A = this chain, B = another copy of it.
């Protein structure tokens, strides 16, 4: 089985030494969220993940979900785990206290989600989707809808879904054909159509399932401007709020997938199902974007989370497995061979996993604290700035973290050789599970287009400045500090080039959007690497004064990883900047018949 111990020490580092989580408890509504409280909750979450979710990860993968006569069954143990999950209050963690939530900060919730995904990504899908439905209703639902659905989503007795994709369209939601015919009551519609790839569309964990469904009201404008959002519960609700008859929505089949096999991916057939309009007609995409943006941050975290499990598992293997001798001669002459970890190439792989995983954790905290500021900071200016920053970082977190997660889990496998490829150790499951994170919630190419096409130009680059200004200020303040040069110098260089290519893309993209499109994926990756360089410089700076203390190994590890990142991972930007500069011609000057 994979090895996992929640990185509580690293959470402390990120929340208290790199950032200052105590800021959050000064916001109205977050008074309870003191650093001590945060730490206690994380420790409780760690226990649940290590003791309940991790042991079900491989059996869940082996067994998968089953489908029979419209009924989906989750693997053995999932119902009991979900019961414990609910009882622990984990479904309500960041929910609005007005509806039974605990009102804790997103920052805390992010790290709990990391632990859940690290130990059982497939399980995490169920509460994760509910969280998305909760957000959409909380932000866009009517008072009555909130009152009806939010308490049940937060106590976990009901779950939620996002029903977007149809057979003929995924990315291009303007092609949606599911139709909504107005019914007798106001806001009431009959929904008919087929949705595919619906995570948690049907399962046996909750009493009811609340589908949020994109559909087109009869006579609506064509394309994306004619899409509305509906609430379609699996069981209709009686006047008293109790569950009524089954609604006209059924699971037609479940997908057989490469991974996350314990997460039910359903074909959902709507046949005059009773649905309730949420928000205004034809404005469904707005609410759906709320849901998707939250989900994209969560998916980014998923990618990074699997890197942690891959690291811990591969590290143990590399320390235990005796194979060959160190290139300079035996390091452990008394043993029949040296452990793998003496080899430079094994270290390269381990440190790559670690640099990506801990970099992502720092970046997540940065983004999550912005999310908390955006929702709870008393100053509206700071709220706006934080929203801008978050809008900018969302595609990067989704795309960069998940690409790195896939690299990381594959490196974990590579360290273990054949033992990583067979199922026994669980490493190959991490690879298979991680792979979906690059695809769902908008494939990473779409994230890149979102970054160059929407986020950079928005408000004349206002969002961009929320990243460029603080990083620029950080660098300037440290140019004269010799002990930081090994970190700040490479950061400054790559940051300067990122600014250059940003200007280049903005300029060329105005004339020819295909120039921006051709640069998009490489630009997103370069942006991610520079952001990580900034965070690794800060992590190194935070660690330097603490060398020699009782936790010296922890800080030496941080510094070593920071050095490794600058020396061996940041140079990838050299390639990416060259690719970006090469422009669109090498991609677009090819006729279709020549492919």
Contacts and interface: CB of A to CB of B under 8 A. Distances in A.
Interface of A: 165, 168-172, 174-175, 196-197, 255-259, 265, 315, 318-319, 322-324, 326-328, 336-337, 341, 343-351, 354, 406, 410, 413-414, 417-418, 420-424, 428, 431-432, 435-436, 438-440, 443-445, 448-449, 512-514, 516-518, 520-521, 553-554, 556-557, 560, 563-564, 566-568, 571-575, 578-579, 582-595
B553 A591 contact: yes
A417 B420 CA distance: 26
A515 to B, nearest CB: 8
Contact of A169 (B319, B323, B516): B323
B414 A438 contact: yes
A563 B583 CA distance: 12
Contact of A417 (B171, B414, B589): B171
A381 B169 CA distance: 62
Contacts of A512: 328
B445 A414 contact: yes
A171 B438 contact: no
A196 B172 CA distance: 49
B428 A348 contact: no
B418 A165 contact: yes
Contact of A171 (B165, B323, B517, B590): B323
A423 B257 contact: yes
Nearest to A318: B595
B568 A579 contact: yes
Given A350-B595, A414-B443, A554-B594, 9 more contacts: A172-B322, A197-B418, A326-B514, A327-B513, A344-B587, A345-B520, A351-B586, A351-B590, A553-B594
B423 A588 contact: no
Given A423-B258, A571-B582, A347 B556 contact: no
A590 B324 contact: no
B171 A324 contact: yes
Nearest to A554: B594
Interface of A is mostly: helix
B421 A590 contact: no
A428 B258 contact: yes
Contacts of A175: 322-323, 336-337
Contacts of A326: 514
28 contacts: A165-B418, A170-B323, A171-B323, A172-B323, A174-B337, A257-B422, A258-B422, A265-B422, A327-B517, A344-B584, A345-B520, A345-B521, A346-B445, A347-B587, A348-B587, A351-B586, A417-B439, A417-B443, A420-B439, A557-B590, A560-B589, A560-B590, A560-B594, A566-B586, A567-B586, A568-B579, A571-B578, A572-B575
Contacts of A567: 579, 582-583, 585-586
What is the copy number of this chain in the assembly?
2
A344 B6 CA distance: 41
A176 to B, nearest CB: 11
Contacts of A439: 413-414, 417-418, 420-421
B444 A435 contact: no
A440 B588 CA distance: 38
A165 B196 CA distance: 45
B587 A564 contact: yes
A223 to B, nearest CB: 10
The 6 closest A-B pairs by CB, nearest first: A571-B578, A574-B574, A557-B594, A258-B428, A344-B518, A327-B513
Contact of A449 (B345, B351, B563, B572): B345
Given A170-B323, A327-B513, A517-B344, A568 B582 contact: yes
A154 to B, nearest CB: 29
Contacts of A593: 553
Nearest to A521: B345
A572 B566 CA distance: 17
A170 B575 contact: no
Interface centre among A319, A354, A414 (most CB of B within 10 A): A414
Contacts of A591: 553, 556
Contacts of A560: 586, 589-590, 594
Nearest to A62: B256
B414 A588 contact: no
Contact of A423 (B256, B421, B517): B256
A433 to B, nearest CB: 11
A563 to B, nearest CB: 5
Contacts of A516: 327
A257 B421 contact: yes
Nearest to A573: B575
B575 A448 contact: no
Interface centre among A315, A421, A439, A444 (most CB of B within 10 A): A421
A417 B172 contact: no
Contacts of A554: 594
